[in-house]
A and B are shown apart, each in its own frame.
Chain A
C-alpha cells in the first residue's frame, strides 16, 4: 500500500519527480484531454510494469532500455489504434502526445526497483493515478482560464479573455510552474529538482 500512496502524493510524478512534464504542459489545454491522456497513461503504465517485472531480469544490462521502449511501443501503438477506432476526435485532440508517452521517462521507469509483482503493480497504479490527477487539475485550470469552460460547459464568457494565453504551451509552462511553487509552499520544501 505504501507504494500506492507514494506514487499519488509523496513521489507524485509531475509535482515531485518532475517527470512527464511534456504531456502535463502540452496536452492539458482542456480538462477532457488531460483526463483521457491521464487514464491512458495509467493503464499503459500498469501493463508495462507487469511486463517489465516479468521480462527485465532476463535482459542483459545494455539492452534494458531498448527492451523497455519496445514494450511501450507495442502497448502504446495498440492503445492508439483502439482510440482512433473508438473516438477519432479525442485521438486527434491528443495529437502526437499519446504516441510520445513511449519516450517519457515516467513510463520507462514503470515498475522499476520493485521486487514483487504486487508492489510493482501498486507502484505503477499510484503513479499513474497521481499523474492523471495532476493532468486533470491542469486541464480544468487551463480550460477555465483559456476558454471559460470546464469539461466543455460554459462557466463564464468574455471576462477572462486576457488569460487566453493559458491555452497555449508557454502559458501551460507558467501555470505548471505556479502550481509547483504552490505545492512547495504547502509542503514546505525548497523547489530544487528532486532527481
Chain B
C-alpha cells in the first residue's frame, strides 16, 4: 500500500510528466485556453495512458528484446492507445484536433526502460496521467490570471507561459532531492 502511495506521489509530483520531464508541451500550449478544454484534454490523455499501459501489460510476453524493434513496438502501442482514447473520450479541443499524443507515448517509452513490470506499470500510468491532468487544469487557471496581468508586449502569450510553467517546475524539483 505504501508502495502504491509512493509511486503516486512520485509520478504526480516529483517526476511530473510536464513540469519535470518536459513531455506534453504541445497539449500545454494548445489546450489550456479554458479550464474545460484543459480538463477534457487531460482526461483523454489519462484514458490513453491507462489503455496503453494495460496493452503493454498484456503484450509483455511478446516485447522484442533488441533495442530498435523494441522502440518501434512501443511506438505502435502508443499509436493504438492514443487513437483508441480519442475515439473513447470525446472532447472539443480548439485548433487542429490532434489525435496522437506525445506525452502518452513518452510515458510508454519511460515505462519500457524502467525496471518495473506487470500491473505496477498501470498504476504508474494512472499517476502520470493524473499529474498531467492536474498540471493542465492548473496552467489553464494560471493563464486566466496572466491575461489580466500587465505583461510587456514581447513576453505576452507563449514566452510568459513557458516561463511560468518553468518556475512551477522548479518548485517541484525541490521534492527530488
- Which chain A residues have a beta carbon within 8 Å of chain B's beta carbons? 18-19, 21-22, 25-26, 65-66, 69-70, 73-74, 76-78, 80-81, 84, 91, 96, 99-100, 102-105, 108, 165, 168-174, 176-178, 180-182, 184-185, 189-193, 195
**Is A191's CB under 8 angstroms from B173's CB?**
no
Within the assembled complex, what's the spacing in Å between the Cα atoms of A192 and B158? 6
A25 to chain B, nearest CB (A): 5
**Is B158's CB under 8 angstroms from A191's CB?**
yes
Q: Which B residues touch A172, using CB under 8 A?
A: 22, 166
**Is B95's CB under 8 angstroms from A99's CB?**
no
**Is B22's CB under 8 angstroms from A195's CB?**
no
16 pairs across A/B with beta carbons < 8 Å? A18-B29, A21-B26, A69-B79, A73-B72, A103-B101, A165-B173, A169-B169, A170-B20, A170-B168, A177-B160, A177-B162, A180-B158, A181-B154, A181-B160, A190-B157, A191-B159
Q: Which A residues touch B74, using CB under 8 A?
A: 99
Give the residues from 61 to 96 in chain B that come closer than 8 angstroms, CB to CB, to chain A.
67-69, 71-72, 74-76, 78-79, 82-83, 95-96
**Is A177's CB under 8 angstroms from B154's CB?**
no
Q: Which A residues touch B163, using CB under 8 A?
A: 173-174, 177-178
**Is B24's CB under 8 angstroms from A22's CB?**
yes
Most buried by A among B23, B83, B166, B169: B166
**Is B102's CB under 8 angstroms from A22's CB?**
yes
**Is B162's CB under 8 angstroms from A66's CB?**
no
Say if the beta carbon of B167 comes within 8 Å of chain A.
yes
**Is A190's CB under 8 angstroms from B156's CB?**
yes
**Is A100's CB under 8 angstroms from B162's CB?**
no
**Is A81's CB under 8 angstroms from B109's CB?**
no
Within the assembled complex, what's the spacing in Å between the Cα atoms of A37 and B165? 24
Within the assembled complex, what's the spacing in Å between the Cα atoms of A84 and B67? 8
**Is A104's CB under 8 angstroms from B158's CB?**
no
Within the assembled complex, what's the spacing in Å between the Cα atoms of A168 and B171? 12
Residue ID in chain B nearest A181 by CB atoms: B159
Which of A18, A66, A168 sits near B83, CB closer than 8 Å?
A: A66
